[in-house]
Structures are given as C-alpha cells and as structure tokens.
Chains A and B, each alone.
Chain A
Amino acid sequence: MARLKKSTPRWKYVVIYAVLIVVTAVTVLPVVLVFGISLRPGNMLWTTDLSPIPANATFEAYRVLFQEKPFFRWIFNSSVVSFMVTIVGVSLASTAGYAFSRYKFVGREAGMIALIATQMFPVTMLLLPLFLMLIKLKVYDTFLGLVIAYSATALPFCIWQMKGYYDTIPYSLEEAAAIDGCSRLKTFYQIVLPLASPALVITALFSFMSAWSEYLVAAVIIIDKRLYTLPLGLKQFQSNFDTEWGLYAAGAVVVCIPVVALFLFLSRWLISGLTLGSVKG
C-alpha cells in the first residue's frame, strides 16, 4: 500500500484516524472497565451505570488487597518464579538457538520439528503425567516444579525465535573472529550474543510472561497457600459463590501493570526482534 504522500487527500487521513480511534477504543474498553470496577465502592459492584469510572470512586479495594490479603506474598512468589524462568529461558534458548542456526549436526531437523510438535499436544493432558512425575521427583508443591514446567512451555517458541534471529547475523563476523584466533565459545559470547540483544529481550519477555500470567499448571502443582502465585490468589476471589469483583479487579490491575509496562517499554524491540528472524527463517 502506498505510504501517505504529500498529495494524500485530507479525507483519507480522516478515514484512517476514524478507523484507528474506533478500533483502539474497543481494544482499550475492557481494560478501562476493569480499572473502573476496581474503583467502585462495595455496594455498587452491580450497576447499570454506563460511565466506566464510577462517580464516587474509592481505592478501598486496593487497601483491602494490600492490607488484609496476602497480596504482597503473591507478588513476591510470582516475581521469584518469573525471574527464575526468565534466567533459565534466556540462557537455554540463546544457546540452543545458536546451535540450530550455526551447526549442521545430525538430528538438527528432527530437533526443530520436535520443538513445534510440543505445541500441538493439548496442555491439559500433560498435566496428569507431569503431576505424577513431580511427586516422584519430590518437587511437587515447590517453586522448582513450577520453574521447570514454565521453562518448558516457553522454550520452544523462544528457541525458534532466537534461531531465526541468529540466521540474520552474517556468518562472516564469526569467520573473521576465528581467523583472529578467537575460540568458538568466545566468539559466541563476545560477538554474536551482543548482536542478538533484540531477540534476547523478546525471549526474556516471553519467558517472564509465561510464568507471570499462568494459571492452569500452577493450580495443579501448588497446594500450599504460602506458595500461591498471583493468578492462584486472584482466582480465589472468584472461586466463592459470590465473586469479589472489586478485589478481583483491583488485583487484576496490579498484575497487569508490570507486564504492560514491560511491553510498552520493549515494543520497539518487539517488532524488529520478532520478525527479522522469520524473514530469512
């Protein structure tokens, strides 16, 4: 499609903006509504009022959340698990992706295909065997069990992503380094890895997200209430007969803030890192 040139008629701008504004409004609406619900006083949770932000807004739900519920503990637990998954995800995907991109070894194709195949199996059915195995390994109901499970869900996509990005980095750089007497290991760490930082950022983001916002696996692995992660805690507000919508909404807002902030902060890298790889993939 043509980019807007100087000759672009004004009506075209009007149409483009109109479309963008309508779509963006629909996109943002649910987010605004959740924020609105979190500000509602307890007696107004069910309302037929159309304005998203209630007239007599209050931060009471947030106060209850932080002072009367173990919300800080959930945040702490989720942070610990997510950071561990991020470290595991980045270090394993950056190395495995490099091997798939640069080496022609036996089992390379099969390995790449096996990675996609892991996405085709319904997650719900991995739960039971995973559960039984974690009990046997004595990591059931521990953070370690969660970290292993989450790393595995994030890895296939991250490895493919890293591999695609490495493919766009010219091999001549490594050849030049080899001529200068740089070992393959050193070449990887000192030359290739820094160049791949946009892809590393995305791998980190994906690993973090897969742990920060996962509910189903956590619900199977974690029993101890002291080990509850944010999704488990939040779901508690919904599990009773009447949902504590105010608390749930306030919690949802707090859960979203770090991820949304990360996304917005990284959105520049998101575009180049995700697609540069697949262009030549």
Chain B
Amino acid sequence: MSFARLAAHVRENKLAYLYILPSFLVLGFVVIYPFVYNVVISFSNMSLSHFRDWKLIGFDQYLRVFREKVFYILFLKTLGWTLVNVFFHVVIGVALALLLNRPLPGRAVFRTLLILPWAIPQYIVALTWRGMFNYEYGYINLLLKRVLNLPPIQWLSDPFGAFAAATITNIWLGFPFMMIIALGGLQSIPKELYEAADVDGAKPWRQFWTITAPLLKPVMIPAISLGVIWTFNNFNVIWLVSDGGKPADSTHILVSFVYRQVFNYYSYGYGAALSIVIFIILLFFSINFIRRTRATEGYA
C-alpha cells in the first residue's frame, strides 16, 4: 500500500483509530514499553552487582536458561500444573453447568453460591487455604482425622503436599469461570435439537457427545485458551499458598521462580531471559491451539 493510499485509508477510518488509540496508549505504557525493556535486559548482565553499569552481553542469559536443569524440571512441573488445573476447571465447570441448565427448584441459589470463589480476591483465597492446610489446626487435617479417621497429611512441609495444596486451591478458584461460560453456551443451543434426538431415541450420553459437546466447543475454546495462559502464569496462588516456594524452594512453577530470581536474588538479566522464554512458549501454544481448533470447527 502506497503512502497516499494509507493516508486515505487512515482518514476514512479515522474514528476507528481514534477509538483504539487511548487503549493502546495505556497498554503501551504499562505492557509494551516494559516488554521491550525486558527484551533488552534479557541480553544484558544486569544484576545486583551490575545494576546501573549493566551492558549487553548477547545470548549468555538464554544459554544459562537452557543449560541449567532447573528450567526443564520447572517447565514439566508448570505443564503438569496447567494441565491438571485446566482439566478439572473444565470438567467440573461443564458438569455443573449441565446440572444447572434445567428447570430445577433452587437452581438460582446453587448458581449464586457456586460462583463465590470467583468473586473473592485471589490473595484472600490463597491465604485462607494456606491456613486450612495447616498440619495441626488446619480444617482439612481436622476433617481427615476426626471425621474420616485418617492420618493427617503433611501438606505444607512436604514438597509434593505443598504442590497438591496449591493445586487444590487453584481448582477451587477456577471452576466457576468455566461454569459460567458453559452455562451461557448451553443456553444458546436450540432446544429443538434435543427434541429431535429424543424422537430418534438417542440416549442422553449420546446426545451429549453429538449435540452438546460440538456446540459447546466454540464457546469453550477461547475460555480454555485463556484459562491455560492464566494458569500457566498464575503467580498468586502458588506463591501465597506455599509462602514463597516453601519448603526450600521446591514449590515453584516458572513464574514464581522468575519472581524469586528477580526480586529476591536480583538476577535481572536471567529473570528477563526466562520471562521471554515463557512468553514464547505461550505464544507458540496459543497460535497452534487457536489454529488447530479453528481448523476442526468447520466440521461442527
């Protein structure tokens, strides 16, 4: 497009550009500038000892990321964390939406109570669950001991226990979002389809896979991809439930590890390089996920 034509195009769509300009100015300040800054820092040796006199050193920080074993371990852990969380968010959310998407006395009460976790600020949720996982006084161990007569579990002092605790907290936190999205999706499915299926004698299970699931998919796909990104980068829950990665920095996912490196060990360059790697992983995932799911959408 020549410059003159571009100018004409801009003039013609002046209103559109005016409408998006303020948003992108704000985003430019808060996200795009820091992002560019990070790219620069990721090629530098910036750290506590080189805070003002940092200089560019090329790919060293990236090499360090890929050379150290910790990255691969954390990557797998983050992957596991994301898969388990999103899986339960979607399964619980869709199952509840299916139960609630029918004329049922008291439906509004259940729906209202079930979105509570979404309404409560994350840091309060995380700190509250941390209290509930306390070995001696936490409600969960009290229930295990007194009601089910099981031995109490070392939640927060054991690496696996702490990770499980954070995962349980995050599952609790995330299913209402998926439930609300699924409820909206279910409401948009025409009732006639089920009536026709009834006439044909299709069993509920079959109706779910042939009608509900394919028609719910276009609604759930954007929600799931957002869910994956948010969960992959969920700093609050893992950090606050494990109180900064305890025991002994064994409870980390990639983002909390980055935070530890930057704000506790002041390895700015290394942290920036790791952040860029996280960003690229997620970008790669999203592009593939969106493309692949859109490609199959044509069949539905």
Contacts and interface: CB of A to CB of B under 8 A. Distances in A.
Given A31-B120, A120-B283, A125-B271, A275 B185 contact: yes
B104 A156 contact: no
Given A103-B15, A252-B127, 14 more contacts: A27-B116, A28-B116, A92-B22, A98-B19, A106-B13, A124-B258, A124-B259, A125-B275, A126-B31, A260-B119, A264-B119, A267-B111, A267-B112, A275-B180
Given A31-B120, A275-B219, A129 B172 contact: no
A96 B23 contact: yes
Across the A-B interface, the 8 shortest Cβ-Cβ residue pairs: A275-B184, A213-B121, A152-B30, A103-B16, A129-B34, A99-B19, A120-B282, A125-B275
11 contacts: A23-B96, A23-B114, A33-B131, A34-B124, A50-B142, A103-B15, A105-B10, A120-B283, A121-B31, A148-B29, A272-B187
A24 interface: yes
Interface stretch (B67-75, B155-163, B221-229): B221-229
Contact of B279 (A48, A122, A155, A279): A122
A3 B103 CA distance: 8
Given A155-B27, A274-B180, A274-B181, A235 B119 contact: no
Residue of A2, A255, A264 with highest tally of chain B CB at under 10 A? A2
Binding site secondary structure of chain B: helix
A152 B27 contact: yes
B125 interface: yes
A125 B38 contact: yes
Given A238-B127, A259-B119, A278-B218, A133 B111 contact: no
A216 interface: yes
Contacts of A4: 102-104
B99 A155 contact: no
A276 B92 CA distance: 21
Interface in B211-233: 212, 218-219, 222-223, 226, 229-230, 233
B117 interface: yes
Contacts of B41: 129
B188 interface: yes
B27 A118 contact: yes
A149 interface: yes
B114 A118 contact: no
Nearest to B36: A129
Given A185-B15, A238-B127, A274 B184 contact: yes
B255 interface: yes
Interface in B274-293: 275, 278-279, 282-283, 286
A125 B271 CA distance: 8
A14 interface: no
Nearest to B143: A50
A123 B235 contact: yes
A61 interface: no
B54 interface: no
Residue of A106, A122, A132, A157 with highest tally of chain B CB at under 10 A? A122
B1 to A, nearest CB: 7
Interface in B121-153: 121-125, 127-129, 131-132, 136-137, 139, 142-143, 146-147
A148 B26 contact: yes
A195 interface: no
A118 to B, nearest CB: 5
A55 interface: no
Residue of B23, B137, B185 with highest tally of chain A CB at under 10 A? B23
